[in-house]
Structure 1
Amino acid sequence: MGLKRVDYDRTQHAGYAKGRRLLPASRRTWLRAFRAHAGDRRIGTIVDVGSGTGRFTPALADEFGADVIGVEPSARMREVAHVESSHPLVTYVPGHAANLPLDDASADLALMFLVWHHVPDRPAAARELARALRPGARLLMATTLSDRLKDLLLYRYFPRTREIDAEVFPTLAETVEVFADAGFAHAELTEVHHRSADSLTEYAGRQRMRALSVYEHLTDEEYRAGLAALEDDAADETVPRPVESECDLLAFTRC
Protein backbone atom coordinates (compact mmCIF):
# COMPACT_ATOMS: atom_id res chain seq x y z
CA MET A 1 0.00 0.00 0.00
CA GLY A 2 2.98 2.31 0.60
CA LEU A 3 1.41 4.47 3.31
CA LYS A 4 2.91 7.89 3.92
CA ARG A 5 4.12 8.98 7.34
CA VAL A 6 1.72 11.17 9.30
CA ASP A 7 2.95 14.74 9.78
CA TYR A 8 1.60 15.89 13.14
CA ASP A 9 2.96 19.40 12.61
CA ARG A 10 0.85 19.75 9.47
CA THR A 11 -2.50 18.20 10.39
CA GLN A 12 -2.99 16.28 13.62
CA HIS A 13 -1.97 18.82 16.27
CA ALA A 14 -5.01 21.08 15.89
CA GLY A 15 -7.76 18.78 17.11
CA TYR A 16 -5.72 16.06 18.78
CA ALA A 17 -6.05 17.13 22.41
CA LYS A 18 -9.85 17.36 22.25
CA GLY A 19 -10.43 14.50 19.84
CA ARG A 20 -8.24 12.10 21.82
CA ARG A 21 -9.06 13.40 25.29
CA LEU A 22 -9.08 10.64 27.88
CA LEU A 23 -12.22 10.05 29.89
CA PRO A 24 -11.39 10.24 33.62
CA ALA A 25 -12.41 6.60 34.10
CA SER A 26 -10.16 5.49 31.24
CA ARG A 27 -7.24 7.46 32.60
CA ARG A 28 -7.67 5.75 35.97
CA THR A 29 -7.88 2.33 34.30
CA TRP A 30 -4.67 2.88 32.35
CA LEU A 31 -2.80 4.25 35.35
CA ARG A 32 -3.77 1.18 37.38
CA ALA A 33 -2.44 -0.99 34.55
CA PHE A 34 0.79 1.00 34.33
CA ARG A 35 1.28 0.71 38.07
CA ALA A 36 0.58 -3.02 38.04
CA HIS A 37 3.15 -3.69 35.31
CA ALA A 38 5.83 -1.13 36.20
CA GLY A 39 7.75 -3.57 38.37
CA ASP A 40 8.78 -3.37 42.02
CA ARG A 41 11.73 -1.00 41.76
CA ARG A 42 11.59 2.63 42.90
CA ILE A 43 10.70 4.90 40.00
CA GLY A 44 12.26 8.34 40.05
CA THR A 45 12.41 9.20 36.35
CA ILE A 46 9.94 8.26 33.62
CA VAL A 47 10.25 8.89 29.89
CA ASP A 48 7.00 9.24 27.95
CA VAL A 49 8.13 8.51 24.39
CA GLY A 50 5.92 10.17 21.80
CA SER A 51 4.15 12.16 24.49
CA GLY A 52 2.13 14.17 21.97
CA THR A 53 -0.05 16.76 23.66
CA GLY A 54 0.60 15.21 27.08
CA ARG A 55 -2.41 12.94 27.46
CA PHE A 56 -0.62 10.81 30.07
CA THR A 57 2.48 12.78 30.97
CA PRO A 58 1.19 14.78 33.97
CA ALA A 59 -0.87 11.80 35.15
CA LEU A 60 2.31 9.67 35.22
CA ALA A 61 3.99 12.30 37.38
CA ASP A 62 1.08 12.26 39.83
CA GLU A 63 0.72 8.47 39.90
CA PHE A 64 4.39 7.69 40.51
CA GLY A 65 5.54 10.93 42.16
CA ALA A 66 8.32 10.96 39.59
CA ASP A 67 9.98 13.36 37.20
CA VAL A 68 8.60 12.74 33.73
CA ILE A 69 10.28 13.65 30.46
CA GLY A 70 7.87 13.89 27.55
CA VAL A 71 9.78 13.26 24.34
CA GLU A 72 7.90 14.41 21.24
CA PRO A 73 9.20 15.10 17.71
CA SER A 74 6.34 17.39 16.68
CA ALA A 75 6.91 21.01 17.66
CA ARG A 76 3.21 21.82 17.28
CA MET A 77 2.19 18.92 19.55
CA ARG A 78 4.72 20.10 22.16
CA GLU A 79 3.28 23.61 21.96
CA VAL A 80 -0.15 22.24 22.86
CA ALA A 81 1.34 20.13 25.65
CA HIS A 82 3.08 23.14 27.22
CA VAL A 83 -0.25 24.99 27.33
CA GLU A 84 -2.72 22.23 28.18
CA SER A 85 -0.64 19.61 30.02
CA SER A 86 1.90 21.53 32.10
CA HIS A 87 3.02 20.08 35.45
CA PRO A 88 5.86 20.99 37.84
CA LEU A 89 7.41 17.52 37.51
CA VAL A 90 7.07 17.35 33.71
CA THR A 91 9.47 18.52 31.03
CA TYR A 92 8.63 18.35 27.31
CA VAL A 93 11.60 18.05 24.98
CA PRO A 94 12.17 17.45 21.26
CA GLY A 95 13.35 14.00 20.26
CA HIS A 96 12.12 10.67 19.00
CA ALA A 97 12.30 7.01 19.91
CA ALA A 98 15.57 6.37 18.07
CA ASN A 99 17.24 9.50 19.49
CA LEU A 100 16.23 10.12 23.09
CA PRO A 101 17.69 13.19 24.84
CA LEU A 102 18.52 11.14 27.94
CA ASP A 103 21.76 10.01 29.55
CA ASP A 104 22.66 6.33 29.55
CA ALA A 105 20.76 4.25 32.13
CA SER A 106 18.94 7.30 33.46
CA ALA A 107 15.25 6.27 33.32
CA ASP A 108 13.37 3.87 35.59
CA LEU A 109 10.30 3.47 33.38
CA ALA A 110 9.36 4.18 29.77
CA LEU A 111 5.92 4.47 28.24
CA MET A 112 5.01 4.30 24.57
CA PHE A 113 1.28 4.80 24.16
CA LEU A 114 0.05 4.17 20.61
CA VAL A 115 3.41 5.31 19.26
CA TRP A 116 5.19 2.20 17.99
CA HIS A 117 3.54 2.20 14.56
CA HIS A 118 4.88 5.72 13.92
CA VAL A 119 8.50 4.67 14.52
CA PRO A 120 10.32 4.28 11.16
CA ASP A 121 13.39 2.40 12.48
CA ARG A 122 12.12 0.07 15.18
CA PRO A 123 15.37 -1.82 15.84
CA ALA A 124 17.18 1.49 16.37
CA ALA A 125 14.43 2.67 18.70
CA ALA A 126 14.58 -0.53 20.74
CA ARG A 127 18.35 -0.16 21.11
CA GLU A 128 17.95 3.47 22.15
CA LEU A 129 15.37 2.58 24.78
CA ALA A 130 17.73 -0.09 26.09
CA ARG A 131 20.46 2.53 26.35
CA ALA A 132 18.31 5.03 28.24
CA LEU A 133 16.70 2.60 30.70
CA ARG A 134 18.43 1.27 33.77
CA PRO A 135 18.91 -2.51 33.98
CA GLY A 136 15.74 -4.03 35.41
CA ALA A 137 13.57 -1.09 34.34
CA ARG A 138 10.31 -1.66 32.49
CA LEU A 139 9.10 -0.46 29.14
CA LEU A 140 5.30 -0.33 28.85
CA MET A 141 3.89 -0.26 25.35
CA ALA A 142 0.21 0.15 24.53
CA THR A 143 -0.13 -0.76 20.88
CA THR A 144 -2.28 -2.44 18.29
CA LEU A 145 -0.84 -5.70 16.97
CA SER A 146 -1.71 -6.77 13.44
CA ASP A 147 -2.32 -10.39 14.45
CA ARG A 148 -4.51 -9.33 17.40
CA LEU A 149 -6.83 -6.74 15.84
CA LYS A 150 -9.92 -6.06 17.94
CA ASP A 151 -13.52 -5.60 16.79
CA LEU A 152 -13.35 -1.81 16.85
CA LEU A 153 -16.39 0.31 16.17
CA LEU A 154 -14.12 2.37 13.95
CA TYR A 155 -13.84 -0.54 11.50
CA ARG A 156 -17.60 -0.72 11.04
CA TYR A 157 -17.96 2.86 9.83
CA PHE A 158 -14.58 3.21 8.14
CA PRO A 159 -13.93 -0.34 6.86
CA ARG A 160 -10.57 0.32 5.21
CA THR A 161 -9.08 1.40 8.53
CA ARG A 162 -8.84 -2.28 9.48
CA GLU A 163 -6.83 -3.00 6.34
CA ILE A 164 -4.61 -0.01 7.10
CA ASP A 165 -4.04 -1.13 10.70
CA ALA A 166 -3.11 -4.62 9.49
CA GLU A 167 -0.38 -3.05 7.35
CA VAL A 168 0.82 -0.35 9.74
CA PHE A 169 1.13 -2.40 12.93
CA PRO A 170 3.59 -5.27 13.46
CA THR A 171 2.67 -8.66 14.89
CA LEU A 172 3.28 -9.67 18.49
CA ALA A 173 6.13 -11.99 17.47
CA GLU A 174 7.81 -9.25 15.40
CA THR A 175 7.59 -6.81 18.28
CA VAL A 176 8.96 -9.23 20.86
CA GLU A 177 11.83 -10.17 18.54
CA VAL A 178 12.88 -6.54 17.98
CA PHE A 179 13.09 -5.91 21.71
CA ALA A 180 14.76 -9.22 22.48
CA ASP A 181 17.52 -8.36 20.01
CA ALA A 182 18.00 -5.04 21.82
CA GLY A 183 18.35 -6.62 25.27
CA PHE A 184 14.81 -6.76 26.61
CA ALA A 185 12.90 -9.68 28.08
CA HIS A 186 9.19 -9.89 27.25
CA ALA A 187 7.55 -9.75 30.66
CA GLU A 188 3.79 -9.61 30.07
CA LEU A 189 0.95 -9.08 27.62
CA THR A 190 -2.38 -7.98 29.02
CA GLU A 191 -5.57 -6.40 27.75
CA VAL A 192 -6.81 -3.12 29.19
CA HIS A 193 -10.49 -2.23 28.88
CA HIS A 194 -10.68 1.23 27.36
CA ARG A 195 -13.73 3.47 27.06
CA SER A 196 -13.21 6.08 24.37
CA ALA A 197 -16.66 7.72 24.60
CA ASP A 198 -19.71 7.57 26.85
CA SER A 199 -22.13 7.54 23.92
CA LEU A 200 -22.28 7.18 20.16
CA THR A 201 -23.07 10.89 19.99
CA GLU A 202 -19.88 11.76 21.85
CA TYR A 203 -17.92 9.32 19.69
CA ALA A 204 -19.24 10.95 16.51
CA GLY A 205 -18.23 14.34 17.84
CA ARG A 206 -14.70 13.10 18.40
CA GLN A 207 -14.48 11.68 14.87
CA ARG A 208 -15.50 15.04 13.44
CA MET A 209 -12.18 16.37 14.76
CA ARG A 210 -10.38 13.82 12.58
CA ALA A 211 -7.85 13.24 15.36
CA LEU A 212 -7.00 9.63 14.49
CA SER A 213 -3.85 9.30 12.41
CA VAL A 214 -5.43 6.48 10.38
CA TYR A 215 -7.77 9.05 8.80
CA GLU A 216 -4.75 10.54 7.05
CA HIS A 217 -4.68 7.40 4.88
CA LEU A 218 -8.36 7.56 3.86
CA THR A 219 -9.73 9.51 0.94
CA ASP A 220 -11.97 12.45 1.76
CA GLU A 221 -14.87 10.49 0.28
CA GLU A 222 -14.23 7.50 2.55
CA TYR A 223 -14.01 9.70 5.60
CA ARG A 224 -17.16 11.68 4.78
CA ALA A 225 -19.19 8.54 4.02
CA GLY A 226 -18.16 6.87 7.26
CA LEU A 227 -18.79 9.99 9.32
CA ALA A 228 -22.23 10.47 7.75
CA ALA A 229 -23.25 6.90 8.59
CA LEU A 230 -21.93 7.30 12.13
CA GLU A 231 -23.77 10.57 12.64
CA ASP A 232 -27.01 9.04 11.33
CA ASP A 233 -26.77 6.26 13.92
CA ALA A 234 -25.82 8.74 16.63
CA ALA A 235 -28.91 10.82 15.81
CA ASP A 236 -31.07 7.71 16.37
CA GLU A 237 -29.44 6.97 19.73
CA THR A 238 -32.02 7.13 22.52
CA VAL A 239 -30.04 5.45 25.31
CA PRO A 240 -26.33 6.38 25.50
CA ARG A 241 -24.20 3.45 24.39
CA PRO A 242 -20.56 3.57 25.56
CA VAL A 243 -17.87 2.94 22.96
CA GLU A 244 -15.41 0.50 24.49
CA SER A 245 -12.70 -1.92 23.39
CA GLU A 246 -9.86 -4.04 24.69
CA CYS A 247 -6.34 -2.67 24.14
CA ASP A 248 -3.07 -4.60 24.27
CA LEU A 249 -0.43 -3.56 26.79
CA LEU A 250 3.02 -5.08 26.47
CA ALA A 251 5.60 -4.97 29.25
CA PHE A 252 9.31 -5.51 28.61
CA THR A 253 12.14 -5.64 31.15
CA ARG A 254 15.55 -4.18 30.37
CA CYS A 255 17.98 -7.04 30.98
Structure 2
Amino acid sequence: MQQIVQNVIINRQELNSIEFETEDIEIPLAPGEEQTFEILVTNQGSPTHIHFSVSEDLKGNITFLRDNPYVLHKEYVSAVARIPRDGKVLTEGKIFITAGYGSKKNGFPVQLGKKDEKLKEPEDEIQVWEDNDELRPYRPGGDAHKKKVSNPRGSGSGAGSFSVSFLKKLFGSEGSQTWKSGNKTRKPVNEADKLPLTLALGGFLLLVSLFSLYFVLPEGMGFRVSFAHALVFSILFVTCITYLLLKIMEDG
Protein backbone atom coordinates (compact mmCIF):
# COMPACT_ATOMS: atom_id res chain seq x y z
CA MET A 1 0.00 0.00 0.00
CA GLN A 2 1.30 3.43 -0.95
CA GLN A 3 2.00 6.05 1.68
CA ILE A 4 -0.86 8.43 2.47
CA VAL A 5 0.67 11.84 3.03
CA GLN A 6 -2.47 13.97 3.32
CA ASN A 7 -6.15 13.62 4.19
CA VAL A 8 -8.44 16.14 2.46
CA ILE A 9 -11.97 16.72 3.72
CA ILE A 10 -14.50 18.52 1.52
CA ASN A 11 -18.06 19.72 2.17
CA ARG A 12 -17.77 19.41 5.96
CA GLN A 13 -18.05 23.02 7.11
CA GLU A 14 -20.05 24.25 4.15
CA LEU A 15 -20.66 23.56 0.48
CA ASN A 16 -17.37 23.04 -1.37
CA SER A 17 -15.29 23.72 1.76
CA ILE A 18 -11.78 22.27 1.69
CA GLU A 19 -9.82 21.22 4.79
CA PHE A 20 -6.48 19.51 5.39
CA GLU A 21 -5.58 17.30 8.36
CA THR A 22 -1.85 17.98 7.93
CA GLU A 23 -0.62 21.56 7.63
CA ASP A 24 2.36 20.67 5.41
CA ILE A 25 4.07 17.53 4.14
CA GLU A 26 7.67 16.54 3.48
CA ILE A 27 8.75 14.08 0.80
CA PRO A 28 12.45 13.25 1.34
CA LEU A 29 14.05 12.56 -2.02
CA ALA A 30 17.53 12.85 -3.50
CA PRO A 31 18.26 13.93 -7.08
CA GLY A 32 17.47 11.05 -9.44
CA GLU A 33 14.91 9.45 -7.10
CA GLU A 34 11.13 9.24 -7.26
CA GLN A 35 8.36 8.18 -4.88
CA THR A 36 4.67 7.38 -5.26
CA PHE A 37 2.28 8.64 -2.61
CA GLU A 38 -1.47 8.98 -2.10
CA ILE A 39 -3.85 11.68 -0.98
CA LEU A 40 -7.07 10.53 0.68
CA VAL A 41 -10.08 12.69 -0.17
CA THR A 42 -13.13 12.36 2.11
CA ASN A 43 -16.41 13.87 0.91
CA GLN A 44 -19.04 14.63 3.55
CA GLY A 45 -21.50 16.17 1.10
CA SER A 46 -22.91 15.55 -2.34
CA PRO A 47 -20.70 13.76 -4.90
CA THR A 48 -18.58 16.22 -6.84
CA HIS A 49 -15.53 16.64 -9.04
CA ILE A 50 -12.34 18.15 -7.63
CA HIS A 51 -9.18 19.22 -9.40
CA PHE A 52 -5.54 18.80 -8.33
CA SER A 53 -2.74 21.20 -9.36
CA VAL A 54 0.65 22.37 -8.12
CA SER A 55 2.44 25.69 -7.86
CA GLU A 56 5.01 26.78 -10.44
CA ASP A 57 7.92 25.57 -8.28
CA LEU A 58 6.63 21.97 -8.27
CA LYS A 59 5.62 21.67 -11.93
CA GLY A 60 7.51 18.79 -13.44
CA ASN A 61 8.26 17.37 -9.96
CA ILE A 62 4.79 16.12 -8.95
CA THR A 63 2.42 14.37 -11.35
CA PHE A 64 -1.11 13.24 -10.45
CA LEU A 65 -2.35 10.01 -12.03
CA ARG A 66 -5.87 11.48 -11.86
CA ASP A 67 -6.01 15.25 -11.55
CA ASN A 68 -9.83 15.54 -11.82
CA PRO A 69 -11.34 12.69 -9.78
CA TYR A 70 -15.04 12.24 -9.03
CA VAL A 71 -15.49 11.82 -5.27
CA LEU A 72 -18.52 9.97 -3.93
CA HIS A 73 -17.47 9.33 -0.33
CA LYS A 74 -13.77 8.41 -0.19
CA GLU A 75 -11.29 8.51 -2.99
CA TYR A 76 -7.53 7.76 -3.08
CA VAL A 77 -5.61 9.92 -5.51
CA SER A 78 -2.15 8.64 -6.45
CA ALA A 79 0.72 10.93 -7.41
CA VAL A 80 4.40 10.57 -8.29
CA ALA A 81 7.08 12.86 -6.88
CA ARG A 82 10.48 12.93 -8.56
CA ILE A 83 13.64 14.99 -8.63
CA PRO A 84 15.73 14.97 -11.83
CA ARG A 85 19.40 14.07 -11.51
CA ASP A 86 20.32 17.66 -12.26
CA GLY A 87 17.42 19.09 -10.25
CA LYS A 88 17.39 21.06 -7.01
CA VAL A 89 18.17 19.25 -3.80
CA LEU A 90 15.28 21.02 -2.03
CA THR A 91 12.14 22.45 -3.62
CA GLU A 92 9.23 24.02 -1.79
CA GLY A 93 5.81 24.72 -3.23
CA LYS A 94 2.11 23.95 -2.81
CA ILE A 95 -0.47 21.38 -3.89
CA PHE A 96 -3.82 23.00 -4.66
CA ILE A 97 -7.31 21.47 -4.66
CA THR A 98 -10.16 23.18 -6.46
CA ALA A 99 -13.83 22.34 -5.75
CA GLY A 100 -17.21 23.61 -6.94
CA TYR A 101 -15.95 23.96 -10.54
CA GLY A 102 -13.50 26.66 -9.57
CA SER A 103 -15.52 28.41 -6.87
CA LYS A 104 -13.26 27.24 -4.00
CA LYS A 105 -9.50 26.65 -4.02
CA ASN A 106 -7.15 25.81 -1.19
CA GLY A 107 -3.63 24.37 -0.88
CA PHE A 108 -1.05 23.06 1.52
CA PRO A 109 2.77 23.47 1.52
CA VAL A 110 5.01 20.68 0.23
CA GLN A 111 8.73 20.28 0.80
CA LEU A 112 10.31 18.06 -1.82
CA GLY A 113 13.89 16.91 -1.18
CA LYS A 114 16.28 16.97 1.74
CA LYS A 115 17.80 19.87 3.61
CA ASP A 116 21.57 20.07 3.62
CA GLU A 117 22.79 18.93 7.02
CA LYS A 118 25.54 21.09 8.40
CA LEU A 119 28.69 19.29 9.35
CA LYS A 120 28.67 18.69 13.06
CA GLU A 121 31.76 19.14 15.15
CA PRO A 122 33.27 15.95 16.56
CA GLU A 123 31.68 15.07 19.87
CA ASP A 124 35.05 14.50 21.49
CA GLU A 125 35.99 18.16 21.06
CA ILE A 126 34.84 20.49 23.84
CA GLN A 127 35.49 24.22 23.76
CA VAL A 128 37.17 25.43 26.95
CA TRP A 129 38.68 28.74 28.03
CA GLU A 130 42.43 28.74 28.55
CA ASP A 131 44.37 31.03 30.90
CA ASN A 132 45.18 33.36 28.01
CA ASP A 133 41.44 33.91 27.33
CA GLU A 134 41.55 32.17 23.93
CA LEU A 135 38.92 29.62 23.00
CA ARG A 136 40.71 26.46 21.91
CA PRO A 137 39.47 22.92 21.24
CA TYR A 138 40.06 20.46 24.01
CA ARG A 139 40.51 16.80 23.18
CA PRO A 140 40.09 14.15 25.87
CA GLY A 141 43.31 12.32 26.54
CA GLY A 142 45.47 15.31 25.73
CA ASP A 143 45.84 16.55 29.30
CA ALA A 144 49.13 14.81 29.90
CA HIS A 145 50.77 16.28 26.83
CA LYS A 146 49.42 19.75 27.55
CA LYS A 147 50.66 19.67 31.13
CA LYS A 148 54.12 18.58 30.06
CA VAL A 149 54.41 21.42 27.60
CA SER A 150 52.92 24.14 29.77
CA ASN A 151 54.79 23.19 32.96
CA PRO A 152 58.10 21.50 32.21
CA ARG A 153 59.44 22.29 35.69
CA GLY A 154 56.63 20.43 37.45
CA SER A 155 58.58 17.15 37.75
CA GLY A 156 60.36 18.37 40.90
CA SER A 157 59.16 19.95 44.09
CA GLY A 158 58.02 23.56 44.13
CA ALA A 159 60.83 24.78 46.40
CA GLY A 160 63.47 22.89 44.40
CA SER A 161 62.35 24.30 41.08
CA PHE A 162 62.27 27.83 42.52
CA SER A 163 65.79 27.41 43.92
CA VAL A 164 67.28 26.07 40.68
CA SER A 165 65.62 28.79 38.64
CA PHE A 166 66.71 31.45 41.13
CA LEU A 167 70.34 30.29 41.07
CA LYS A 168 70.29 30.20 37.27
CA LYS A 169 69.05 33.74 37.26
CA LEU A 170 71.68 34.86 39.78
CA PHE A 171 74.73 33.11 38.28
CA GLY A 172 73.60 32.78 34.64
CA SER A 173 76.21 33.52 31.98
CA GLU A 174 76.07 36.70 29.91
CA GLY A 175 76.03 37.21 26.14
CA SER A 176 73.76 35.30 23.84
CA GLN A 177 73.08 32.38 26.23
CA THR A 178 69.41 32.02 27.22
CA TRP A 179 67.42 29.84 29.58
CA LYS A 180 64.49 28.04 27.94
CA SER A 181 61.36 27.00 29.79
CA GLY A 182 58.72 25.30 27.68
CA ASN A 183 58.07 27.48 24.65
CA LYS A 184 59.35 30.66 26.30
CA THR A 185 62.93 32.03 26.07
CA ARG A 186 64.31 33.82 29.09
CA LYS A 187 67.29 36.14 28.73
CA PRO A 188 70.06 36.15 31.41
CA VAL A 189 70.23 38.89 34.01
CA ASN A 190 72.43 41.83 33.11
CA GLU A 191 74.93 43.46 35.47
CA ALA A 192 72.53 46.21 36.57
CA ASP A 193 70.05 43.62 37.90
CA LYS A 194 72.66 41.18 39.24
CA LEU A 195 74.35 43.67 41.63
CA PRO A 196 71.35 44.41 43.92
CA LEU A 197 70.45 40.73 43.90
CA THR A 198 73.97 39.77 44.98
CA LEU A 199 73.98 42.42 47.73
CA ALA A 200 70.64 41.23 49.05
CA LEU A 201 71.76 37.62 49.11
CA GLY A 202 75.09 38.52 50.75
CA GLY A 203 73.41 40.70 53.37
CA PHE A 204 70.93 37.94 54.15
CA LEU A 205 73.72 35.39 54.65
CA LEU A 206 75.71 37.85 56.79
CA LEU A 207 72.77 38.60 59.06
CA VAL A 208 72.01 34.89 59.45
CA SER A 209 75.66 34.24 60.33
CA LEU A 210 75.75 37.01 62.98
CA PHE A 211 72.47 35.83 64.43
CA SER A 212 73.84 32.28 64.68
CA LEU A 213 77.09 33.43 66.30
CA TYR A 214 75.13 35.29 68.98
CA PHE A 215 73.77 31.97 70.25
CA VAL A 216 76.75 29.75 69.44
CA LEU A 217 79.65 31.73 70.99
CA PRO A 218 80.32 31.27 74.72
CA GLU A 219 79.02 33.96 77.00
CA GLY A 220 82.55 35.34 77.64
CA MET A 221 83.30 35.72 73.92
CA GLY A 222 79.86 36.93 72.99
CA PHE A 223 78.93 40.43 72.00
CA ARG A 224 76.22 42.68 73.29
CA VAL A 225 73.41 43.82 71.00
CA SER A 226 71.69 47.09 71.80
CA PHE A 227 68.16 48.03 70.86
CA ALA A 228 69.42 50.23 68.02
CA HIS A 229 71.53 47.40 66.62
CA ALA A 230 68.60 44.96 66.85
CA LEU A 231 66.32 47.45 65.08
CA VAL A 232 68.81 47.98 62.24
CA PHE A 233 69.40 44.25 61.90
CA SER A 234 65.64 43.60 61.79
CA ILE A 235 65.08 46.21 59.10
CA LEU A 236 67.94 44.86 56.98
CA PHE A 237 66.81 41.27 57.49
CA VAL A 238 63.20 42.03 56.46
CA THR A 239 64.40 44.09 53.48
CA CYS A 240 66.67 41.31 52.18
CA ILE A 241 64.05 38.60 52.70
CA THR A 242 61.38 40.67 50.94
CA TYR A 243 63.63 41.44 47.99
CA LEU A 244 64.69 37.83 47.58
CA LEU A 245 61.12 36.54 47.82
CA LEU A 246 59.95 39.05 45.20
CA LYS A 247 62.73 37.96 42.87
CA ILE A 248 61.88 34.29 43.41
CA MET A 249 58.17 34.93 42.74
CA GLU A 250 59.02 36.97 39.66
CA ASP A 251 61.25 34.20 38.36
CA GLY A 252 58.58 31.59 39.09
Shorter chain as denominator, the TM-score bin is: under 0.3
- Judging by fraction of residues, say which structure has more strand: 2
Higher relative contact order (CA 8 A, sep 6+): 1
- Judging by fraction of residues, say which structure has more helix: 1
TM value normalised by structure 1: 0.19
TM value normalised by structure 2: 0.19
